[in-house]
Amino acid sequence: MKKLAILGSTGSIGVNTLDIIERFRDKYEIVALSAGSNIQLLKEQIAKFKPKVVSVLNEPLANRLKEELDPLDIEILYGIEGTNRVATLSEVDMVVSAIVGAAGLIPSVSAIKARKNIALANKETLVMAGKIVMKEAKENGVTIFPIDSEHSAVFQSLLGHQKKDVKRIILTASGGPFLNCSREELANVTIQEALNHPVWEMGKKITIDSASLMNKGLEVIEARWLFDIPYEKIDVHIHPQSIVHSMVEYIDGSVVAQMGLPDMRGPISYALAYPERLPTELPSLNLLEIDKLTFELPDEKRFPALRLAYRAVEEGGTMPAVLNAANEIAVEAFLNNKIGFTGIPHIIKQTMNSYKVKEINTIQDALEADSWARMKAKMLI
Ligand code: MG
């Protein structure tokens, strides 16, 4: 029996993870859950999975939950301390890190320091502080299993091979809803259009990031740290069908790709069950029904966010944390109708331009760059 804690249980990845676990109750036990403010859904999850500990966003929400649940059955916590406790409970074997955005960094690091294996959906953890996080993981004997579909594909395509033989990694991107929009059209897209992803069903933040291609930029940085490979060896191909989830090219010219239907339950179940596989009952991938698989290079003129991410990882140090924070603020501003869609990369670029990059030696360095960039981006907006 694998004992799990889920950080971000009411988000898209959390819900999909619990959907899998529900069908494999003989293999997995939910020990703890952390959520934000979706108390209604959390209560349903508590009733179903009976965790021993839960944590919510703040004290009033925790009090509300306490009034409605029997305190003898469950420990109810809140805030960053509560999330950290969920991430570090002694009986937990694996922590599913699925909080959205920079808020996922500290609990992920706490879990690693407590020697928990990680199923990582929160890519920002590696974008902001990949160097430190991977060092901590190594020192604590922790394996990080990616839940991101592209990184799960690379992880699978690397198995049985040696890193010295890798020529490059090719991350695929669906291209999002605006793949064929002109620059003029992009300036006027609505929030609803941006949230309407053609292939993947995901949370709001990542859906906007997919539309701007910033998601792919963050994934390049994530891959750089997760697989310890120079960013120059990571390429991006637009692949609208989202069947090939990513590829690894080897020095002998062989390319290993991982394929599957675009459904997050694939990479989640792989991360949970490794080295085994779970019979997920997802429909079979039928290549005979798929007309064709196409690949093209991303257009950096229309989608400058990807280039900004390469620039951030090239400049190194704290710059990726600045990129990430400016992006979070800009996406929020777009979702609140304060800037247009093309304003997102613009704000990020301006924020990066006015930042002097620093070395990153501690998590604190990343957090300071993060707060600076948030302030700067807000001012610019
Ligand atoms: Mg992805």
pTM listed for this prediction = 0.96
- 3-class secondary structure for 321-346? HHHHHHHHHHHHHHHCCCCCCCHHHH
pLDDT the model gives residue 252: 98
pLDDT the model gives residue 361: 96
Reference 162, options 250, 257, 256, 274; nearest CA is 250
219 CA distance to ligand 1 middle (Å): 7
- The residues that bridge with 4 in the sheet, in sequence order, are 30, 94
243 CA distance to ligand 1 middle (Å): 13
Residues 185/194, Cβ–Cβ less than 8 Å: no
Residues 223/154, Cβ–Cβ less than 8 Å: yes
149 CA distance to ligand 1 middle (Å): 5
Chain centroid offset of residue 30 CA: 21
Task: Output the six-digit token pair for 348.
Answer: 């990020």
pLDDT the model gives residue 120: 97
pLDDT the model gives residue 181: 94
pLDDT the model gives residue 156: 98
45 CA distance to ligand 1 middle (Å): 25
Could you give the angle at which helices 214-226 and 304-315 cross, rounded to 10 degrees? 30
pLDDT the model gives residue 73: 83
Task: Output the six-digit token pair for 59.
Answer: 């004290």
168 CA distance to ligand 1 middle (Å): 18
210 CA distance to ligand 1 middle (Å): 9
By CB atoms closer than 10 A (0-12, 13-18, 19+), residue 319 is buried
236 CA distance to ligand 1 middle (Å): 12
Q: What own/partner pairs with CB < 8 Å and gap ≥ 24 does 328-335 have? A: 328/101, 328/102, 328/205, 328/374, 329/373, 329/374, 329/377, 329/378, 329/381, 330/377, 330/381, 331/205, 331/208, 331/209, 333/381, 334/191, 334/194, 334/208, 335/191, 335/204, 335/208
Task: Output the six-digit token pair for 341.
Answer: 């869609």
**CA 332 – CA 2 distance, rounded (Å):** 37
Which CA distances in Å does 66 have to 90, 108, 261? 23, 26, 41
50 CA distance to ligand 1 middle (Å): 30
120 CA distance to ligand 1 middle (Å): 11
Residues 381/330, Cβ–Cβ less than 8 Å: yes
**CA 169 – CA 239 distance, rounded (Å):** 15
200 CA distance to ligand 1 middle (Å): 10
- Domain ranges for the chain: 2-146
Architecture of domain 2-146: 3-Layer(aba) Sandwich (3.40)
148 CA distance to ligand 1 middle (Å): 5
Q: pLDDT below 70 — which residues of the chain?
A: none
pLDDT the model gives residue 255: 98
Buried b (16+ CB within 10 A) or exposed e, 209-233: bbbbbbbbbbbbbbbbbbbebebee
153 CA distance to ligand 1 middle (Å): 10
52 CA distance to ligand 1 middle (Å): 31
Dihedral of CA 330/238/272/27: which sign? Answer: positive
Residues 42/133, Cβ–Cβ less than 8 Å: no
pLDDT the model gives residue 250: 98
pLDDT the model gives residue 198: 80
342 CA distance to ligand 1 middle (Å): 21
pLDDT the model gives residue 336: 96
**CA 267 – CA 17 distance, rounded (Å):** 10
70 CA distance to ligand 1 middle (Å): 39
pLDDT the model gives residue 70: 80
pLDDT the model gives residue 370: 97
